[in-house]
Amino acid sequence: MEYFNYRESAGGRELFAEDVALSQIAERFGTPSYVYSSAAFAARYRAFSEAVGDALVCYSVKANDNLAVLRCLGQEGAGVDIVSGGELARALAADIAPDKIVFAGVGKTASEMADALDAGIRQFNVESEEELEMLAGLAAARGCRAPVALRVNPDVDAKTHDKISTGRAQDKFGIEFDQAERLYDRASKMAGIDMRGLAIHIGSQLTALAPFEAAFARLGELCLRLRAGGHAVSHLDLGGGLGISYDDKGQLNLTDYGALVQRTGDTLGASITLEPGRWMAGPAGLLLTRVVRVKRNGNKQFVIVDMAMNDLLRPALYGAWHDIQPVIPRPGDALPVDIVGPICESGDVIAKDRALPELRTGDLIAVRDAGAYGAVMSSSYNSRMPAAEVMVRGAESALIRPRLDYDAMLARDTLPDWQAGQA
Ligand code: LLP
């Protein structure tokens, strides 16, 4: 399942996205640009769905929210997991059926919940008693019942990066495990609530099966206790979190994960929902950037590129490692360089001490596995225009999110009356 490959072309060995040379994309759309392979998205969705059997696969929009991506996955049959009114608007615009939309998140506002009720979404994953009360009130006022799963915090360490661990007792997510039965009982008696089951999500970029096993087992125990107490508990949402291999050092096996999911669903006789984001989107995209300048300071060789931490925050925020590939590798030995962005922060480093063939001003570089948590986390820090987004399908390529120009940037600001007209 590799959709970005080196091929022999007129200019020598060159990296392609499906059947399109990345140099052509750079020429046509400029850099920096995210480049997505629609075949990769479709193939990954199919492989994942096959591995998890009957489970409803609700792609986590937060990983990559581009409409073209949502539409591509929606056409394959995916539902979505959303965490905001903005993501709801995107999902509906991409024609995702409301009965395949689950709404997660600790801070859903009243207006976001009202919009989701009006849209008739599949399920709210409720994370606190106060949220439950608010949702019940909104539903009752509309004369409907909100379909709810309680998101519980199983207090399991996902053994991933601290900033993306969500299932430990000290994390802000989910309902305290010991409170779940009491709250489930209470919720079942609320007029505006239709209790359907339980949800968990213990973290992202998990590379071992054991934390999933532990969390699913705890969820299973709670499910059985609730059933013993007379509740149906027909739906279990097992969240997302399946990691990818950024560095080719091995990853969690999809088949093993799928078998665990299916076992959990079969043993408990429940309908299963999953919320994968990164696994679906990460390897389906790369960030294409051009070398602006090469400079040496003492022993350090810096390659300054036209992307920065405002385009891809993961290295600066999590110390994340992304593979770097020259689009047209120059012959000769690989030497260690730091790939850095132009932003005025020492943390604006994309890759440190990477052994790469010689890079010169104007060369193109691909930052791999940037399809998830890349464009969605971009900002306009330093008044930089975030990277454009391009989708490839076979030999076709299309701009799916243009780069803003300076007029569009300036149009976002308005002057207060007392400054308007002043020179
Ligand atoms: N469901 C819930 C409730 C979540 O909070 C998340 C991710 C997912 C599903 C999808 O998880 P995935 O399958 O993608 O691991 N920005 C970070 C990742 C943050 C993940 C937040 N929640 C990064 O770049 O690594």
What are the structural domain ranges in the chain?
A: 4-36+282-411, 104-276
Task: Return d(Cα 176, Cα 59) in angstroms, integer.
Answer: 26
The structure's pTM equals 0.96
Ligand 1 centroid to 241 CA: how many Å?
6
Q: Is residue 203 in contact with ligand 1, taking CB distance under 6 Å?
A: no
Considering only CA atoms, which residue is closest to atom 19 of ligand 1? 164
Considering only CA atoms, which residue is closest to atom 20 of ligand 1? 204
Cα 309 from chain centre: 17
Block means of pLDDT (10 residues each) for the chain, 423 residues, are 88 93 98 98 98 98 98 98 98 98 96 98 97 98 98 86 77 88 97 97 94 97 97 97 89 94 97 98 98 92 97 97 97 95 96 97 98 98 97 98 96 92 68
Task: Return d(Cα 202, Cα 187) in angstroms, integer.
Answer: 23
Ligand 1 centroid to 364 CA: how many Å?
30
- pLDDT value, residue 99: 98
- pLDDT value, residue 283: 97
Can you give the three-state secondary structure of the chain, one letter per residue? Answer: CCCEEEEEECCEEEEEECCEEHHHHHHHHCCCEEEEEHHHHHHHHHHHHHHCCCCEEEEEHHHCCCHHHHHHHHHHCCEEEECCHHHHHHHHHCCCCHHHEEECCCCCCHHHHHHHHHHCCCEEEECCHHHHHHHHHHHHHHCCCEEEEEEEECCCCCCCCHHHECCCCCCCCCEEHHHHHHHHHHHHCCCCEEEEEEECCCECCECCCHHHHHHHHHHHHHHHHHHHCCCCCCEEECCCCECCCCCCCCCCCHHHHHHHHHHHHHHHCCEEEECCCHHHHHHHEEEEEEEEEEEEECCEEEEEECCCCCCCCHHHHHCCCCCEEECCCCCCCCEEEEEECCCCCCCCEEEEEEEECCCCCCCEEEECCCCCCCHHHCCCHHHCCCCEEEEEECCEEEEEECCCCHHHHHHCCCCCCCCCCCC
Task: Return d(Cα 265, Cα 16) in angstroms, integer.
Answer: 40
Which atom of ligand 1 lies closest to the CA of 241? Answer: 15
Give which of 35, 19, 5, 21 is closest to 399, Cα–Cα: 35
Considering only CA atoms, which residue is closest to atom 8 of ligand 1? 240
- pLDDT value, residue 300: 87
- pLDDT value, residue 423: 64
- pLDDT value, residue 158: 77
Ligand 1 centroid to 396 CA: how many Å?
30
Ligand 1 centroid to 173 CA: how many Å?
12
Ligand 1 centroid to 63 CA: how many Å?
7
Q: Is residue 44 in contact with ligand 1, taking CB distance under 6 Å?
A: no
Task: Return d(Cα 295, Cα 411) in angstroms, integer.
Answer: 36
Task: Return d(Cα 178, Cα 41) in angstroms, integer.
Answer: 39
Give which of 187, 206, 190, 173 is closest to 83, Cα–Cα: 173
Cα 303 from chain centre: 28
Task: Return d(Cα 305, Cα 109) in angstroms, integer.
Answer: 40
The first and second tokens of residue 249, run together, are: 């050092």
Q: Which residues are catalytic?
A: 344
Which atom of ligand 1 lies closest to the CA of 282? Answer: 14
Q: Is residue 79 in contact with ligand 1, taking CB distance under 6 Å?
A: no
For 174-201, what is each residue's pLDDT tens digit? 899 999 999 999 999 999 999 999 999 9
Hey, which residues does 175 pair with through a beta bridge? Answer: 152
Ligand 1 centroid to 299 CA: how many Å?
38
Q: Is residue 275 in contact with ligand 1, taking CB distance under 6 Å?
A: yes
User: Is 104-276 a domain of CATH 3.30.70.270?
Assistant: no
Q: Is residue 151 in contact with ligand 1, taking CB distance under 6 Å?
A: no
* List of long-range contacts for 50-53, beta carbons under 8 Å, 24+ apart: 50/258, 51/254, 51/255, 51/257, 51/258, 51/259, 51/261, 52/257, 52/258, 52/261, 52/262, 52/272, 52/274, 53/258, 53/261, 53/262, 53/265
Which atom of ligand 1 lies closest to the CA of 204? Answer: 15
Q: Is residue 218 in contact with ligand 1, taking CB distance under 6 Å?
A: no
- pLDDT value, residue 1: 65
Q: Is residue 17 in contact with ligand 1, taking CB distance under 6 Å?
A: no
Q: Is residue 237 in contact with ligand 1, taking CB distance under 6 Å?
A: no
99: left (phi over 0), alpha (psi -120 to 50) or beta: alpha
Q: CATH class for domain 4-36+282-411?
A: mainly beta
